[in-house]
Structure 1
Amino acid sequence: MSRRRIGQETLQLGSGPSRGRSSLDALAALIDWVPIARDLDVISCAAKGEPAWPPLALFKALLIAVWYDLSDIKLAEALDDRASFRRFCWFSGSEPTPERTAFVRFRKALAIHGLERTLFATITDQLAAKTITVKTGTLVDATIIESASKQDGEARWVGRRGKPAVHGFKAHVGADADTSLVEQIAVTSANVADSKAGPAAVPDDPGEVFADSAYRGRHFGDAVRAKGGTPRIAATSMWGRDEAETLARLDAWNRPIHRIRQRIEKIFGTWKRSYGLRRMRWRGMAKATLQIHLTAIAYNLKRAMAITTAA
């Protein structure tokens, strides 16, 4: 397949030209991009009759779009204009950069090949090796994301107590309890129960698994134990002869679970407030799955950088 050569005549996988360092330069140096380039090597999404852009450069551009909440048009404009964006994607200062349609084609190719899970695993494994020393626990929860359109036939309506119903999808997430790095993701339509899809969000050897009362029941608990973990699920009631004593036991059980479990809410807050995941950008389950995984990858990179910088 014919591909363009960028960045001083060749696509190099190291750091870019050293002109005014930025946070993107630190992110570029955080991991080894060679395995990611290898994962992407199956993709060629050029316009007819043109050489293809290097897929790693396009993938890095999509991460920039998540971090800065940019549409395809704004991403193309910013990549053409901002030196730090060019360095991160390894474009030299004078050469052309991809147009909006290149990102559309690339995203379609990612979804067709189902590469979002592979890329997420490749990057997250590297980040976990840098930040997680001893695995002690896992946070599991889900968040609802509104669909791009009410005509999206793969999204579903779901009611919420005291809030308007939402038409959309649901991201089921397992995150490390200590580092808050996202380790496992499952995406469903919004009407799938947390307890039903929850096992798919539990990584292997999860340690203690902290979840709210939506995950009560044998289905989730048995799945956690089968993966070598111990379920720590918030309770809504307990048996007892004395009401005051029973309520005290219920509070004693739930308080540490809620204290640890609430850390996952900060992950969802970052995704929605800072990374544009308040609603889906595109229609369909495949593209919803891709958007959520790209958001998780972008979040994990920033989170890992914060951890390693503070260490």
Structure 2
Amino acid sequence: MKQDSLAFSQTTRRTRKREFLDSMERVVPWADLVSLIEPYAPEAGRRGQQPFGVEVLLRIHFMQQWFNLSDPAMEEALHDVPVFRDFAGLSGWNEALPSDSSILRFRRLLERHKLAEQILVTVNDLLSRRGLLLKAGTVVDATLIAAPSSTKNKDGSRDPEMHQSKKGNQWHFGMKSHIGVCADSGLVHTVRGTAGNVNDVLQANSLLHGQEEVVFGDAGYQGADKRPDARPGVTWRVAMRPGLRRALDESNPIDVMVKKVEKLKASVRAKVEHPFRVIKRQFGHVKVRYRGLKKNTQQLHTLFALSNLWMVRKVLVNSKAQVRPKSALMA
């Protein structure tokens, strides 16, 4: 039998996975995130705890989000995919690898202390310092995340915290992800998770960070500025209802102007679709992973933090390259 396993693990081919992980290696603020989590992590060497550092488990947790892997699937991937082990810092041939229970315990640690929300805050602080996350305007929107509708499971029932929602002529079962994004960059600053039947306008004002002057939303946010929780001094630019827009008369100059204004508002609102596309298409998050809103909302905070970094990765990499010291450039 050929002894080629070591040769395979040392391959230098630049696969898409390797390129992706290399780019994220350079833009994730690892030191800040490890400092955030370490105070809550079990002390090293405690009985019954795996001897894996916070950064190793955090890297594995992020790979789960990027490649849509369950805890058991992530454990198998660490055994099967050398580039995953390299990224986690477990490339030694004789090193122990975390089990799915170790991966699960780390996720529960993040959930218990609501650290996913702080991960989003930490990432956004970095982006704000780089001038990438502005405060003048916000775009709000929501998307449906499907949940299993079958009752053929251990409990014999659907998740009681998920509900049906009708979109167009089709019914969907699951939850809603509500987000507020920067109107300039499309980066997410606020995340809320609700059952699928919760009306978008009910969450509208909770998606604001408090410093914006103008907010954009689709027709589902009509009346947001008149709700009891509406914030003073904020101007809402909400889309006209589709039926009223179709009724505009193109031969009427005023209606033509109204149509142009609606088109401009739509071009701003389009920014909110970018992070949804990243988590659904790039990261493959089209179905909820867990039962209950709390766990799935915590995951959404992590996913949108990572989507923010993904969307501006080239800017962050280029800015780091520009501030390298001359000694590094001459090496």
Q: Normalising by structure 1, report the TM-score.
A: 0.81
Mapped contact 1:144–1:170 kept (Cα < 8 A): yes
Structure 1 36/134 Cα, relative in aligned 2: closer, same or farther at 3 Å? closer
For residues 289 and 46 of structure 2, what CA distance do their matches in structure 1 show? 22
For residues 66 and 182 of structure 2, what CA distance do their matches in structure 1 show? 21
Mapped contact 2:133–2:185 kept (Cα < 8 A): no
Q: Which residue of 1 aligns with 2:7?
A: none
Match 1:33 to one of 30, 34, 47: 30
SS in 2 for 1:253: helix
Equivalent residues in 2 for 1:270-309, closer than 5 Å: 270-309=278-317
Match 2:167 to one of 160, 163, 170: 160
For residues 205 and 86 of structure 1, what CA distance do their matches in structure 2 show? 42
Mapped contact 2:188–2:304 kept (Cα < 8 A): yes
**Residue deviations 1:184-221, cap 9 Å, x none?**
11111111111111212222322432111111114467
SS in 2 for 1:153: coil
CA drift of 1:271 comes to 1.5
For residues 28 and 304 of structure 1, what CA distance do their matches in structure 2 show? 14
Task: Look up the equivalent residue of 1:156 and give its one-letter code.
Answer: H
**Residue deviations 1:64-102, cap 9 Å, x none?**
122222232332222234443234323242312212222
For residues 149 and 101 of structure 1, what CA distance do their matches in structure 2 show? 27
Equivalent residues in 2 for 1:63-74, closer than 5 Å: 63-74=62-73
Q: Which residue of 1 aligns with 2:139?
A: 139
CA drift of 1:27 comes to 2.1
Runs of 4+ off more than 6 Å: 45-48, 238-243
Unaligned stretches of 5+ residues in structure 1: 1-18
Q: Which residue of 2 aligns with 1:6?
A: none
For residues 93 and 225 of structure 1, what CA distance do their matches in structure 2 show? 55
CA drift of 1:171 comes to 0.8
Q: Which residue of 1 aligns with 2:268?
A: 260
Q: Computing the radius of gyration over CA atoms, which structure comes out larger, 1 or 2?
A: 2
Structure 1 47/255 Cα, relative in aligned 2: closer, same or farther at 3 Å? farther
Structure 1 240/141 Cα, relative in aligned 2: closer, same or farther at 3 Å? closer
For residues 87 and 300 of structure 2, what CA distance do their matches in structure 1 show? 22
Q: Normalising by structure 2, report the TM-score.
A: 0.77
For residues 311 and 145 of structure 2, what CA distance do their matches in structure 1 show? 22
Could you tell me the percent identity over the aligned residues? 27
SS in 2 for 1:29: helix
Q: CA RMSD in A?
A: 3.1
Q: Which residue of 1 aligns with 2:153?
A: none
Structure 1 131/98 Cα, relative in aligned 2: closer, same or farther at 3 Å? farther
